[in-house]
Amino acid sequence: DGSLPLGYALTVQKAMALDVLQPYSTAKVSLFTPDGEKLVNNVACTSDRTFTLDQIGIYRLVYRLEDAAGNIANEEYLIDVGDFTPPTITRKGSYKTTYRLGESVKLLDVTLFDEISSDPSKIVLYVIIYPSDYMPEYKKVGDRYVFETEGNYKITYCAIDEAGNYTLLNVEIYVK
């Protein structure tokens, strides 16, 4: 979609301006962060420059060309920087693979982490329990689930970060 990931190293290459009628022309570049800070402002394009895009949002890259007569042309590019890294889910402990009918199962605690947001409360966690072949028959008792139908069940943890990136963690258990 034309977006670049956070932390991308953008190289602004050197540039030249040529004018048929005015042999002495200059090319300058400006780069602005999403919050308007000037990383460089009207700097001559005599060599390549590399910048780390460390903010989410739209950067503005502006080339300013000027000939000896003072004629100016600007060329502007917008660079969209986004979060494309999904959060991680780390399960604390493990489930047994087989449970007896009527035995209660406690959902395991998980740790959520996102490289971009240092605040785990910004990550939404959903837990879905469903069987492989039919409608589930289980009931929730406190913080535990009691399965009332034999079969294979899948427990899916889904973590979604603020940018909409998501991760799934699936666990299968058998109730007999």
d(CA 88, CA 106): 21
pLDDT tens-place string over residues 8-20: 999 999 888 887 7
Q: What percent of the chain has pLDDT over 70?
A: 95
Those residues whose C-beta lies under 8 Å from the C-beta of residue 121, and which sit 6 or more positions away, are none
Across residues 3-28, what is the average pLDDT? 87
DSSP state of 109: P
CA distances to 15, 59, 83, 105, 121 from 10, in Å: 15, 11, 16, 50, 31
